[in-house]
Structure 1
Amino acid sequence: MSLADQVLAVNDDLPIRTDKPVHSGKVRSVYWLTEQDSRRLIKEKGYPVPDDAPLAIMVISDRISAFDCIWHGENDLQGVPGKGAALNAISNHWFNLFKQNGLADSHILDIPHPLVWIVQKAKPVKIEAICRQYITGSMWRAYEKGEREFCGIKLPEGLEKDKALPEILITPSTKGILKGIPGVPEADDVNISRQNIEENYSAFNFASPQDIAHYEKLLKDGFTVISDALQQVGQIFVDTKFEFGYVTDRSGQEKLIYMDEVGTPDSSRLWDQNAYSEGKIVENSKEGFRQFLLNHFPDPDILLNKERMPEREALARDNALPLDALMAVSKTYTDIAETITGKPVVMSNNPKQDIIDILQAQYGLID
């Protein structure tokens, strides 16, 4: 088996029975189950959801996206070995910890395979909920240029790069292009303030104004749970993105849950504590790969400048990255997953066939 065979690069062509189009994102693909299969599984497996809840199979790939492009490597390597399984294992770990701490449920009902979740359909809150404990990245770049207000929050003078903020900050941005909201540009991923959300809560898919405070509490409490646990294993939780949504529980009550992924190297910055105490930044997240790309190409402005998107897409399409660069990312992801969960990442020689076999034998979902 070659290394390329161990990578699940294409994840939207599995023969999973569905009567709707497969939704394929940068990393995950979602297969909506038929109403008949959803009802059958809820009954057979005893999932704690209403009998008519729509279910989906979510398959994570090993693709690597950075600067809004998908990258590939030499030897036809179309992703990073072990990346998908590492991301899922980390998210599963944190979602379980949130439950143990009485915070909120997630959308995950079952985990048939390291690359697969069975999820309940959620109504997403249209906010990228970002929480920051240190000033770095885009916030530092803006602060250095003289900006002192972020998402309606005023920052004091005298902050230093990569140092702790006076308190944990919530700096939300839009998820998707939202139209017709006063004061909010019609563009993806633009910063918004709490006031924007309060004045237009239903446009952001909140059920009530009270749920804004509830989402902030779940965000900060979830951040603290992960931060405390990471501290125990010598890691600093720098910043992260959470996503929330609404599902209906078995009794028909709507509730706010965590969804997508949490506390992973794709959605967060994680720094090595020992290195940081010696004045060095060692990234245990995708940030390390972003830095590699910025150093690898002679004109990093292509990667940073949104006006140069066609050039950036050509760069990603036409350049096979060195094998050792993608294997370094693989090691970062699998090592941090093992550090967090205490278990090695399970990798497969033929992930696609393994998924098909399990979904057929144990769930009866393959056509």
Structure 2
Amino acid sequence: MTVASGVLAVNNDLPIRTHLPVHSGKVRSVYWLTQADSARLIEEKGYPVPSDTELAIMVISDRISAFDCIWKGEGDLRGVPGKGAALNAISNHWFKLFKEQGLADSHILDIPHPFVWIVQKAKPVMIEAICRSYITGSMWRAYEKGERDFCGIQLPEGLTRDSKLDELLMTPSTKGILKGIEGVPEADDVNITRENIVNNYQAFNFKSIDDVALYEKLLKEGFDVISSALAELDQIFVDTKFEFGYVKDKDGNDKLIYMDEVGTPDSSRIWDGPAYREGKVVENSKEGFRQLLLSHFPDPDILLNKERMDERTALANDNELPVEVLMQVSKTYTDIAEKITGQKIVLSDDPKAEIIKVLKDQYQLID
């Protein structure tokens, strides 16, 4: 058994009964179940949703993306061993903590396998909700060039790289391309202000103006819950991205929930506390991989400059990274997951076969 055979690189070809084409993102694939299977599972499993709710199987992969490209390794290593299981385990942990502490639910109804969630269909809020507790990354690069206005928030002079900010900053950007909103460019992932959101809350899929304040409250509370828990492990929660959406509760009422993933090494920066106190930044997140790529290739501008996307895509397609690089990333992900959850991340020999077996035997979703 090779390392590569235990990696789930392709996750959009499972023989699950669906009624729509499989939607495959950078890391996850979504299988929309038939109306009959959705209704059957809701009844059999007692999921707390209306009987006509659309359900989906969400399958994570071990693929690794950075700078909007998927990267691969030598020896046909098409992902990072343990990455998918680590991401799901961390998200599951935080979603559970949010619910226990009375913040909000998530879209997850069931976890049949470490790579798999059963979710209810959510209507996403069209905002990448980003929180920052330290100035680093793209914000520092912009600040260093003289920028002081971030999403309508004015930063003071004299900040230093990787330093803690006086308060938690919410710096939202668009999720997808939104059209016809004054002052908001028609492009994906552009920074927006609170005023943009309040003045056009319906265009961002908010059900009411009050829900803008609710999303901000859940954003801050979610950040604080994760930050406090990580501090107990002597880890620093630097910044993160949250996503929100609406689902129906058992009585058919709309409720705002957390969705996608939360507090993972893919969506957040997590720094080692002891190293930071010694003046060093040790990344326990994907940022370490990004920095490695920037130093690995001779022209880092290809990775940072959006106008060189064709060159960047070619770079990812034409280069196989050393196996030890991806194994180091594997260690970063599994170590932080085990630290957060207190549970061992078990690497599978054949995750796809395991997923098919459990969805066939226990959920009757495969013929």
Counterpart residue type for residue 83 of structure 2: K
1:117 match: secondary structure:
strand
| Cα distance in structure 1, aligned partners of 2:206 and 2:175 | 13
Is 1:229 aligned with 2:224? no
More deviation, 53-62/157-166:
157-166
1:250 match: secondary structure:
coil
| Cα distance in structure 2, aligned partners of 1:348 and 1:231 | 31
TM-score (norm 1): 1.00
Which string of whole-angstrom CA distances, capped at 9 and with x for unpartnered residues, describes residues 248-288 of structure 1? Answer: 00011100000000000000000000000000000000000
Residue 346 (structure 1) shift: 2.0
Is 1:36 aligned with 2:47? no
Give the aligned partner of residue 70 of structure 1.
70
| Cα distance in structure 2, aligned partners of 1:176 and 1:19 | 24
Give the aligned partner of residue 151 of structure 2.
151
Counterpart residue type for residue 92 of structure 1: N
Give the aligned partner of residue 214 of structure 1.
214
Is 1:171 aligned with 2:167? no
Give the aligned partner of residue 118 of structure 1.
118
Give the aligned partner of residue 286 of structure 1.
286
Is 1:180 aligned with 2:180? yes
| Cα distance in structure 2, aligned partners of 1:206 and 1:188 | 18
Counterpart residue type for residue 280 of structure 2: K
How large is the Cα RMSD of the aligned pairs?
0.5
Counterpart residue type for residue 111 of structure 1: I
Give the aligned partner of residue 240 of structure 1.
240
Counterpart residue type for residue 291 of structure 1: Q
| Cα distance in structure 1, aligned partners of 2:155 and 2:281 | 23
Counterpart residue type for residue 99 of structure 1: K
Give the aligned partner of residue 307 of structure 1.
307
| Cα distance in structure 2, aligned partners of 1:300 and 1:339 | 32
CA contact 1:55–1:118 (8 Å) conserved in 2 = yes
| Cα distance in structure 1, aligned partners of 2:156 and 2:279 | 23
Counterpart residue type for residue 141 of structure 1: R
Which string of whole-angstrom CA distances, capped at 9 and with x for unpartnered residues, describes residues 130-169 of structure 1? Answer: 0000000111111111111100011111111101101001
TM-score (norm 2): 1.00
Identical positions, percent:
77
| Cα distance in structure 1, aligned partners of 2:47 and 2:19 | 22
Q: Please list, as runs of the form range in 1=range in 2, the aligned pairs for 1:1-12 lying within 5 A after superposition.
A: 1-12=1-12
Give the aligned partner of residue 53 of structure 2.
53
| Cα distance in structure 1, aligned partners of 2:121 and 2:209 | 23
Give 5+ residue unaligned stretches, structure 2: none
Give the aligned partner of residue 161 of structure 1.
161
CA contact 1:108–1:119 (8 Å) conserved in 2 = yes
Give the aligned partner of residue 258 of structure 1.
258
Residue 65 (structure 1) shift: 0.3
| Cα distance in structure 1, aligned partners of 2:306 and 2:156 | 29
| Cα distance in structure 1, aligned partners of 2:307 and 2:79 | 26
How many residue pairs get matched? Answer: 367
Which string of whole-angstrom CA distances, capped at 9 and with x for unpartnered residues, describes residues 294-322 of structure 1? Answer: 00001111111111111111110010000
CA contact 1:237–1:269 (8 Å) conserved in 2 = yes
Which string of whole-angstrom CA distances, capped at 9 and with x for unpartnered residues, describes residues 318-351 of structure 1? Answer: 1000001000000000000000000111221000
Is 1:194 aligned with 2:194? yes
| Cα distance in structure 1, aligned partners of 2:115 and 2:307 | 35
Which string of whole-angstrom CA distances, capped at 9 and with x for unpartnered residues, describes residues 47-84 of structure 1? Answer: 00000000000000000000000000000000000000
| Cα distance in structure 2, aligned partners of 1:156 and 1:78 | 44
CA contact 1:174–1:188 (8 Å) conserved in 2 = yes
2:299 match: secondary structure:
coil
2:269 match: secondary structure:
strand
| Cα distance in structure 1, aligned partners of 2:138 and 2:213 | 26
Is 1:323 aligned with 2:313? no
Give the aligned partner of residue 366 of structure 1.
366
Give 5+ residue unaligned stretches, structure 1: none
Counterpart residue type for residue 23 of structure 1: H
Give the aligned partner of residue 136 of structure 2.
136
CA contact 1:114–1:346 (8 Å) conserved in 2 = no
Give the aligned partner of residue 354 of structure 2.
354
CA contact 1:236–1:270 (8 Å) conserved in 2 = yes
| Cα distance in structure 1, aligned partners of 2:238 and 2:54 | 36
| Cα distance in structure 2, aligned partners of 1:218 and 1:19 | 33
Counterpart residue type for residue 97 of structure 1: L
| Cα distance in structure 2, aligned partners of 1:19 and 1:107 | 20
